[in-house]
Structure 1
Amino acid sequence: MNNAQLNELKNKYVANGAASPATQFADRAENSVIWDVDGNRIIDFAGGIGVLNIGHCHPKVVAAVQAQVANLMHTCQIVIPYAGYVQVAEKLSQLAPVRGHGKVMLVNSGAEALENAVKIARAATGKNNVICFDGGYHGRTLFTMAMNGKVAPYAGDFGTMPGNVFRAPYPVPSLGVSEEEAIRRLHTTLKTDANPRDTAAIVIEPVLGEGGFHPAPASFLKAIRDICDEHGMLMIVDEVQSGFGRTGKMFAIEHSGVQPDLITMAKSMAAGMPISAIVGTDKYMDASGPNSLGGTYSGSPASCAAVLAVLEVFEEENILARSMALGEKLGQRFTQWQEQFASVENVRHLGSMAAFDLVTADHKPDAELTAAMCKLAREKGLILIACGFYGNTLRFLMPVTIEDEVLEEGLAIVEACLAEFAA
């Protein structure tokens, strides 16, 4: 079937809230390039929204998954376990910088990981409240929608959200929130809304994802660690988008030296296979009773095989160093654009988690231009996606393994789009 025929089926059978606005349908992909069903070549600067740090269809991951499904596809690991689950748990426990000895729970998605992290924190502390941050994004399940620091498009149509979720500002100086102000207002939240004696955890992304790719200062993360320690709350770090090498470290929190109590991860940990994890200090992970955590497909054999293959690729192909090098290239190019185009502001990156903002002539967020940029880039053969509190941030999540010539080709398209709108 071609793109036109598939669009007809999409419009007829796929729920509007779940349907992609894109009119091209992927047929095959390799590393940083996708070909649609009509044979059109598309450069991918989205990476499945941060899922493909080692690229589309990495041969080592494909081979591992094929070998696994030929032997065992499913048992439900709480009925009869298999080696992959415990091997992944061992590896993640060794990698994740949590306090003390880490234990692991595997689930299916980032949202599931966050939901279970909150459950674990509540069981471990006997408290209910959770504090999150403005601009944060944690998922689309009911409780994670309540945790999100942005309403549209995630929660606006779905009625009352669960309670016991409170919010504080994230330090983003370009949006008028200094680190000092963010800390002050977090203390205010603890005074006015979320009494520490009733608060189980503070949940934070070390780099805002959907909120605009703003890294939290190390001193701010250390302040949160101190506040949690002072009041007997757990520090939960959401690394779903920032983890697995995107920032040049395996986890973004490592840039700060802070050790959280729990870390959630997903996306690039399995290069496209559905899996996520909560890694946490053993006494907290073991706080709830037998059979209190789990799910039918949690930590499936094929996804576990993919994780183990991904970790081998990280070692063999020096992915963390490649992420840092890619980030430097992006930062240099973005800085050139900031000097060249009045619409480009607030260039930033941590490793290859890179972004910049598009603004109007009077320096206000320009969501309309940002959407037009993404549309024009797609017409020129490049997938480019936006984010940000005001929808005016262009974020870059191309595979870390992107070929130099494809990277340059994609950046040239971005530059051509910027020039076209500046004309």
Structure 2
Amino acid sequence: MLSTRLARRALGGARQGYAPLTQRSRTFATQSYDSLVAFGQKHVTKGLGRQVEGVMVKGEGSYVTFGDGKRFLDFTSGIGVTNLGHCHPKVSAAAAQQCMELVHGQCSIGFTTPYLQLIEKLIPMMPDKSLDSFFFWNSGSEAIDAAIKMARAMTGKQNIIGMQGAYHGRTYGAMALTKSKTVYTEGFHPLMPGAYSLPFPYWHHLGTPVSTSSAELSAASLNQLNLLLQQQSAPGDTAAILIEPVLGEGGYIPAPHEFLEGVRKICDENGILLIIDEVQSGFGRTGKNFNIEYSGVRPDILTCAKGLANGFPLSGIVSRKELTDKLNPGSMGGTYAGNAVSCAAAVAVADAFKSENILANVQARSTELFDALHAVKSNPTTREVILDVRGQGLMVAVEFASPTGTGEYDPFRKPGTPARLASRVAKRCQEKGMLILTTSVYEVIRFIPPLNISSEDLKKGTQIFTEAVEEVVREG
């Protein structure tokens, strides 16, 4: 805990209680702010990485402010969490009210009203009416762990097949199926046994041209799935196949309908469950409540988190009652699982989606975003360094060329291209007042603005990005 003296100095010398956040932000002296940053650098574990060496003190809508007074347009949304913007008034009010009624009602003791209200709100939003049995936990990683446990118990089988490039989290079960970067697993082996992976239908993974049709990409990956079931994990040993319908940390690549339909068919033929991970792509991020709606494919288990409670820790694992009835009471749970305050916030999120026409805004802003990014791609100054613009809704990515790629056998290496384009462009955007993230082992920048972002703020963000790309490319 910070000493009283250090806390007062860091917060601008307040002597009696805490000043309001806005006042504290204004009264930060440069040295005091630097001292607080230095304190964090010294005492926060090195295992956490940061894009900005600073202290965030206020979030409002599409903007976040740091203690030194710098205000940023936030195209990260807490990595797809604050889908309704920072501190949405109705969501924050609902959480505050719940704090005065019941903060923690442990799920193994009894129901809480917000937990049941949230189920009532979510049932009509589900991508398939068969999804009618809910368990709420805290994080996306925990949701994946719960889905793995459920699949194994429901089928009596152990193995789980995931996707190359997937990200499912950093807890032990989820980490075994996370294949987007080795940084998440390096040094932590042995991982959970029974985890297998196959290539995602993504042109760069498969080494095919960007123009390769979705049918061809799907056929290649489905062929690999059939081989995996014949060579590595027999159907009789395979409990589930786990898929992000839009590959997240792996590069924001939507899965083709043909692939999802083919996987569903293989699962049905072999008694394998299909787990759809909508932790990042769910809750309107791609223009529908859940991305899997675009394909019409039915999940056996669906996981969600991030945008579910707009910043309050909450995740959901949804399945069919006929399947969850196979679980033994007590096999699921957790001290903070389905926290009452988080559930109250999530109820307000569901209400806001309807009353504020969020999906319509996503679709309108998505068109504007893609138009702006395609303009960058066709710009004579920058077109040679952009390989792809892709995504759905407001889950969008730009992939740049690289002089080295993933190594000498990467068919898309472009010698002479400026190095580290994604990280350099992201840094330049930050210098211009916008936070944006890179992703994957390739040179990719991802766009995750709030779903209720205005047309004006979206235009401001795309202008910053355009300028940043042009400047970095000219620097070489």
Considering the TM-score relative to the shorter chain, is it more than 0.5? yes
Which residue does the alignment assign to 2:467?
Answer: 416
Structure 2 SS opposite 1:153: helix
Match of 1:171 among 197, 201, 208: 201
Q: Distance in 1 between matches of 2:401 and 2:175?
A: 28
User: Matched residues in 2 for 1:364 and 1:414: separation?
Assistant: 23
Name the CA distance, whole Å, in 2 between partners of 1:361 and 1:330: 27
Deviation at 1:292, TM superposition (A): 1.1
Identify which range, 141-150 or 99-108, moves more after superposition. Answer: 99-108
Partner of 1:385: 437
Matched, 1:257 2:296: yes
The answer for the alignment partner of 1:364 in structure 2 is 413
Q: Which residue of structure 2 lines up, in the alignment, with residue 43 of structure 1?
A: 73
Amino acid of the structure 2 residue aligned with 1:343: V
Matched residue, 1:211: 250
Of residues 341, 347, 352, the one that matches 2:389 is 347
Q: In the alignment, is residue 193 of structure 1 matched against residue 232 of structure 2?
A: yes
> Equivalent of 2:316, from 258, 271, 277?
277
What is the 5 A alignment of 1:304-319?
304-319=343-358
CA distance in 2, matches of 1:367, 1:240: 32
Q: Which moved more, 1:363-372 or 1:185-194?
A: 363-372
- Tell me if structure 2 keeps the 8 A contact 1:99–1:259: no
Aligned to 1:289: 328
Deviations 1:96-140 (A, max 9, x none): 224625100000000000110111111111100100000001000
Which residue is equivalent to 2:455?
Answer: 404
Distance (Å, rounded) in 2 between the aligned partners of 1:397 and 1:150:
18
SS at 2:189 equivalent: coil
Match of 2:173, SS state, is helix
Write the mapping of 1:209-248 to structure 2, written as runs, cut at 5 A.
Answer: 209-248=248-287
In 1, distance between residues paired with 2:413 and 2:375? 21
Does residue 63 in structure 1 map to residue 102 in structure 2? no
Question: What is the aligned partner in structure 2 of residue 82 from structure 1?
Answer: 112
SS in structure 1 at match of 2:169: coil
CA deviations over 1:388-421 (Å, ceiling 9, x no partner)? 2x24111000101112222222211111111111
Range that drifts further, 243-252 or 374-383: 374-383
Instruction: Name the CA shift for 1:101/1:146 in 2 (closer, same or farther; >3 Å).
Output: closer
Give the SS at the match of 1:278: strand
Kept after mapping to 2: 8 A contact 1:130/1:166: yes
**SS in structure 1 of the partner of residue 420 of structure 2:** helix
Bigger relative contact order, structure 1 or 2, given CA contacts below 8 A and separation 6+?
1
Distance 1:122 1:39 in 2: 50
Match of 2:47 in 1: 17
Deviations 1:215-240 (A, max 9, x none): 01111101111011000010000000
Task: Tell me which of 114, 131, 140 is aligned to 2:170.
Answer: 140
| Offset from partner CA, 1:275-322 (integer Å, 9 cap, x none) | 000011111122111111110100101000011000010001111111
* RMSD (Å) for aligned C-alpha atoms: 1.5
The count of residues paired between Structure 1 and Structure 2 equals: 422
- State TM-score, norm by structure 2: 0.86
Q: 1:167 to 1:117 in 2, by over 3 A?
A: same
Q: Distance in 2 between matches of 1:94 and 1:407?
A: 30
User: Does the 8 Å contact 2:131/2:318 carry over to 1?
Assistant: no
- AA in 1 matched with 2:176: A
Matching of residue 374 in structure 1 with residue 404 in structure 2:
no
Which of the residues 309, 324, 335 maps onto 2:374?
335
Question: CA separation of 1:367/1:290 partners in 2, compared to 1, >3 Å: closer, same or farther?
Answer: farther
Residues of 2 paired with 1:295 and 1:355: CA distance?
Answer: 35
Query: Cα gap change, 1:182/1:100 in structure 2, threshold over 3 Å: closer, same or farther?
Result: same
Contact 1:331 1:349 in 2 (8 A): no
Q: Distance in 1 between matches of 2:449 and 2:51?
A: 20
Amino acid aligned to 2:385: S
- SS across alignment from 2:79: helix
* Aligned amino acid, residue 86 of structure 1: L
In the alignment, structure 1 segments of 5+ residues that lack a partner are none
Between 362-371 and 278-287, the greater mean CA deviation after superposition: 362-371
Q: Alpha-carbon deviations, 1:358-379, whole Å to 9, x = none?
A: 1137953877111111112112
- Secondary structure of 1:349's partner? strand
Q: Post-superposition shift, 1:89? A: 2.0
One-letter amino acid matched to 1:354? V
* CA drift at 1:44: 0.2
Q: Structure 2 residue aligned with 1:131, among 155, 161, 165?
A: 161
CA-to-aligned-CA distance 1:200-256 (integer Å, 9 cap, x gap) = 000000000001010011111011110110000100000000000011000000000
Amino acid at match of 1:81: F
Is the contact made by 1:89 and 1:105 (CA closer than 8 Å) also made in structure 2?
no
- Return the alpha-carbon distance in structure 2 between the equivalents of residues 357 and 288 of structure 1: 43
User: 2:348 is paired with a residue of what secondary structure?
Assistant: helix
What's the secondary structure of 1:277's corresponding residue?
A: strand
Asked whether the equivalents of residues 206 and 239 of structure 1 are also in contact (C-alpha less than 8 Å), the reply is: yes
Give the TM-score taking structure 1 as reference length. Answer: 0.97
Per-residue deviation, residues 184-203 of structure 1 (Å, max 9, x unmatched): 00101101111100110000
2:296 match: secondary structure: coil
- 1:303-359 per-position Cα deviation (integer Å, ceiling 9, x unaligned): 000110000100011111111111111111111111111222211121111111011
Q: Does 1:323 align with 2:362?
A: yes
Give the share of equivalent positions with the same residue, in percent: 39
Q: Which amino acid in structure 2 is aligned with residue 59 of structure 1?
A: P
Is the Cα–Cα contact under 8 Å of residues 61 and 88 in structure 2 kept in the other structure? yes
1:7-59 CA distance string (max 9 Å, x none): 21112101111242411211101110011111111110000000111111110
Helix, strand or coil at the partner of 1:144? helix
Letter in 2 for 1:169: P
Shift of 1:80: 2.9
